[in-house]
Structure 1
Amino acid sequence: MTDRQRARYEELGENLEVVERRIADACAAAGRERSEVTLIVVTKTYPAEDSALLAGLGVTDVAENRDQDAAPKADLCVDLPLTWHFVGQLQTNKVRSVLRYADTVHSVDRDRLVESLSAAVVRDGRAPLGCLVQVALDKEHGEGGHRAGVAPEDVLALADKIAGAPGLRLDGVMTVAPLAGPLAGDPAASFARLMEIASAVRAVHPAATMVSAGMSGDLEQAIAAGATHVRIGTAVLGVRSPLR
Structure 2
Amino acid sequence: MMTEAVPEPSEAARKAELSENLARVEERIGSACVAAGRKREDVTLVVVTKTYPAGDVRLLAELGVRHVAENRDQDAAPKAAACADLPLTWHFVGQLQTNKARSVAGYADFVHSVDRVRLVSALSAAALRAERELGCLIQVAFDAESGSVAARGGSAPDGVAALAEAVADAQGLRLDGVMTVAPLEGPLAGRPGEAFERLVEISTSLRAAHPAATMVSAGMSADLEEAVRAGATHVRVGSAVLGDRPRLG
In the alignment, structure 1 residue 47 sits paired with structure 2 residue 56: no
Mapping of 1:180-195 within 5 angstroms? 180-195=185-200
Secondary structure of the residue aligned to 1:62 is strand
Q: CA deviation at 1:111?
A: 0.3
Secondary structure of the residue aligned to 1:179 is coil
Secondary structure of the residue aligned to 1:132 is strand
Q: Which residue number in structure 2 is paired with residue 58 of structure 1?
A: 64
Gap change, CA 1:51 and 1:144, over 3 Å in 2: closer
Q: CA deviation at 1:240?
A: 1.5
Q: Which residue number in structure 2 is paired with residue 80 of structure 1?
A: 86
* Structural RMSD (CA): 1.4
Secondary structure of the residue aligned to 2:10 is helix
Cα offsets for 1:81-136 (capped at 9, x unmatched): 1110000111111111111110000000100100011111122222x110000000
Gap change, CA 1:67 and 1:31, over 3 Å in 2: same
CA contact (8 A) 2:70 2:76 kept: yes
Q: Which residue number in structure 1 is paired with residue 15 of structure 2?
A: 9
CA distance in 1, matches of 2:139, 2:170: 17
User: Tell me, which stretches of 5 or more residues in structure 2 are unaligned?
Assistant: 1-7
- Paired residue for 1:206, among 201, 205, 211? 211
- Paired residue for 1:139, among 134, 137, 144? 144
CA distance in 2, matches of 1:28, 1:243: 37
CA distance in 2, matches of 1:184, 1:196: 18
CA distance in 1, matches of 2:48, 2:10: 22
CA distance in 1, matches of 2:51, 2:9: 22
Cα offsets for 1:151-190 (capped at 9, x unmatched): 0000010001101111100000000000010000011111
Q: Which residue number in structure 1 is paired with residue 171 of structure 2?
A: 166
The alignment's TM-score, normalised by the length of structure 2, stands at 0.94
Gap change, CA 1:108 and 1:141, over 3 Å in 2: closer
Secondary structure of the residue aligned to 2:246 is coil
- Paired residue for 2:110, among 104, 112, 118? 104
CA contact (8 A) 1:136 1:152 kept: yes
- Paired residue for 1:93, among 99, 105, 119? 99
Q: Which residue number in structure 1 is paired with residue 236 of structure 2?
A: 231
- Tell me which amino acid in the other structure corresponds to 1:48: A
- Paired residue for 1:22, among 28, 37, 48? 28
- Tell me which amino acid in the other structure corresponds to 2:235: V
User: Tell me, which stretches of 5 or more residues in structure 1 are unaligned?
Assistant: none
- Tell me which amino acid in the other structure corresponds to 1:189: E
The alignment's TM-score, normalised by the length of structure 1, stands at 0.96
Percent identical among aligned pairs is 67
Cα offsets for 1:8-48 (capped at 9, x unmatched): 00000000000000000000000000000000000000000
Q: CA deviation at 1:139?
A: 1.5
Q: Which residue number in structure 1 is paired with residue 131 of structure 2?
A: 125
CA distance in 1, matches of 2:127, 2:149: 33
Q: Which residue number in structure 1 is paired with residue 220 of structure 2?
A: 215
